[in-house]
């Protein structure tokens, strides 16, 4: 059992921290006000290797594993949830292609994704469901050498950027879920205006409308009926990423709390002298440490399990995402309590962090569903 970072991991962490502090931090207010992250920011991240950490060198990846990836996203999450969300969705989409795509699909999608020329998306949610893929109603109907897609996808991250997108639909002849790779630069489907949401404005969410949208048969990922498997194992990558930037968000709240309690005074003494404040600081620290341990372990195991034991990978990612996102929400809540009324003011970072923290348990699968995934896995092993 080792708890120390390797030299390479320390380097990834430092690179991401510097990128977050020097390049992202000055843009955060603009990104949130303008509801847009400039593509150049991702190109810069890619130049530093931050979009390609888990992927193989032959595709332009850094071969830093999913443990390296979460270390980087944790640092970026300390500064911007919007930027982290976009990177998370990109690495999710790229990881699905890396794990399940043909050689040709990998050659097509991974190198430009690693270079930051593309931002990948993965679309499964629909107006009727996000949690229950069995209710997916968009369809793909084979017509000769093409498939014709129809239906609506909802809340899709990175939909406005160039790049590839995995879309899960119901294949008409078999009735089974199937994934197709779509090039977002091609015309033929339409998108909504971005949704107005409570926080993370920079990470736009669009709906996509497919009406008789034709794509070649070769754009199918895997085979007919693999869609559910792609979804189940694939969103595990997303859950790791969300957990990483939730941990960063929680750390930022913890650090903001320490700063506030040592500066804010009551009767000429800093409020950190109150035992009630000390108890909250201790609770935050304890929760942070627990969240970090569960995440780092899941990310280290993911390097192997994501390829060889996808049932355990899905379980570990569900458990981690549920725990870390909820813990982040609790830690940011404590930070808000510590700030009193000042925390409600836009002059203080915790106001934004609080709005972001309540989003986290809902993204990439709600809390109940994570627990159901974990329970199903435990019971399957128990038989
Ligand atoms: C910032 C953000 C980014 C997103 N990015 C993407 C993206 O890139 N691609 C994408 O496809 N989607 C994306 N989504 C959508 C997101 O993944 C879904 O909204 C999420 O999975 C939850 O689905 P839902 O909102 O339809 O909730 P529902 O499935 O309607 O769930 C609502 C409630 O019902 C409960 N429930 C539902 N089914 C069950 C069940 N079987 N058992 C027990 N309880 C149940 C849930 O626990 C929850 O409490 C994004 C959402 C956000 C907010």
Which domains are assigned to the chain? 7-114 (1.10.540.10), 121-221 (2.40.110.10), 228-382 (1.20.140.10)
pLDDT at 120: 97
- Counting from 1 in the atom list of ligand 1, the atom nearest the Cα of 92 is 8
Does the pLDDT value for residue 72 go beyond 80?
yes
Q: Per-residue pLDDT averaged across 353-377, rounded?
A: 94
Q: What does the pLDDT look like over 11-43, one tens digit per residue?
A: 999 999 999 999 999 999 999 999 999 999 999
Single out the residue of 100, 366, 130, 54 nearest to residue 229, CA to CA.
Answer: 100
In sequence order, what are the beta bridge partners of 180?
167, 220
pLDDT band at residue 139, thresholds of 50, 70 and 90? very high
Does the pLDDT value for residue 252 go beyond 90?
yes
Q: Per-residue pLDDT averaged across 338-358, rounded?
A: 97
Ligand 1: residues with CB < 6 A are 89, 121-125, 129-132, 155-157, 200, 205, 359, 362-366, 368-369, 372
- Can you tell me the distance from the alpha carbon of 3 to that of 300, in angstroms, rounded to the nearest whole number? 11
Q: Per DSSP, which regions of the chain are E strands?
A: 121-123, 139-143, 146-157, 164-171, 177-183, 189-191, 205-216, 220-221, 265-266, 269-270
Mean pLDDT of the chain: 96
pLDDT band at residue 333, thresholds of 50, 70 and 90? very high
Ligand 1 geometric centre to CA of 224 (Å): 24
CA-proximal residue: ligand 1, atom 40 (nearest) = 369
Is 34 noted as a catalytic residue in this protein?
A: no
CA-proximal residue: ligand 1, atom 48 (nearest) = 366
pLDDT at 233: 80
CA-proximal residue: ligand 1, atom 7 (nearest) = 156
Q: Per-residue pLDDT averaged across 122-135, rounded?
A: 91
Ligand 1 geometric centre to CA of 29 (Å): 28
Q: What percent of the chain has pLDDT over 70?
A: 100
pLDDT band at residue 234, thresholds of 50, 70 and 90? confident
Of 231-235, 238-242, 352-356, the poorest mean pLDDT is in: 231-235
Does the pLDDT value for residue 1 go beyond 90?
no
């Amino acid at each position: 059992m080792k708890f120390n970072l390797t030299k390479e991991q320390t380097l990834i962490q430092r690179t991401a921290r510097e990128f977050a502090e020097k390049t992202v931090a000055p843009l955060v207010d603009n990104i949130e006000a303008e509801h847009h992250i400039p593509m150049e920011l991702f190109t810069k991240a890619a130049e530093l290797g931050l979009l390609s950490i888990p992927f193989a060198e032959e595709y332009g990846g850094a071969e830093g594993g999913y443990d390296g990836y979460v270390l980087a996203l944790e640092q970026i999450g300390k500064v911007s949830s919007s930027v982290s969300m976009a990177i998370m969705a990109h690495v999710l989409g790229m990881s699905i292609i890396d794990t399940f795509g043909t050689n040709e699909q990998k050659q097509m999608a991974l190198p430009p994704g690693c270079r930051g020329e593309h931002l990948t998306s993965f679309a499964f949610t629909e107006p009727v469901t996000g949690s229950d893929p069995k209710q997916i109603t968009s369809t793909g109907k084979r017509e000769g050498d093409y498939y014709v897609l129809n239906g609506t996808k909802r809340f899709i991250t990175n939909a406005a950027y160039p790049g590839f997108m995995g879309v899960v639909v119901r294949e008409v002849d078999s009735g089974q879920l199937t994934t197709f790779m779509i090039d977002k630069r091609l015309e033929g489907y339409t998108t909504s205006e971005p949704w107005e949401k409570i926080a993370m404005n920079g990470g736009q969410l669009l709906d996509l409308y497919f009406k008789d949208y034709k794509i070649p048969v070769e754009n199918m990922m895997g085979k007919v009926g693999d869609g559910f498997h792609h979804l189940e194992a694939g969103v595990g990558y997303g859950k790791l990423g969300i957990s990483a930037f939730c941990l960063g968000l929680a750390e930022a709240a913890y650090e903001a709390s320490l700063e506030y309690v040592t500066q804010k005074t009551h009767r000429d003494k800093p409020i950190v002298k109150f035992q009630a404040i000390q108890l909250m600081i201790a609770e935050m620290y304890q929760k942070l440490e627990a969240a970090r341990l569960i995440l780092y372990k899941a990310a280290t195991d993911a390097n192997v399990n994501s390829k060889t034991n996808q049932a355990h990978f899905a379980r570990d990612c569900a458990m981690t995402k549920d725990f870390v996102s909820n813990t982040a929400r609790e830690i940011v809540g404590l930070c808000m309590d510590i700030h009193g009324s000042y925390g409600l003011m836009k002059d203080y970072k915790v106001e934004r962090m609080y709005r972001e923290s309540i989003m986290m348990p809902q993204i990439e699968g709600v809390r109940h569903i994570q627990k159901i995934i974990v329970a199903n896995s435990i019971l399957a092993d128990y038989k």
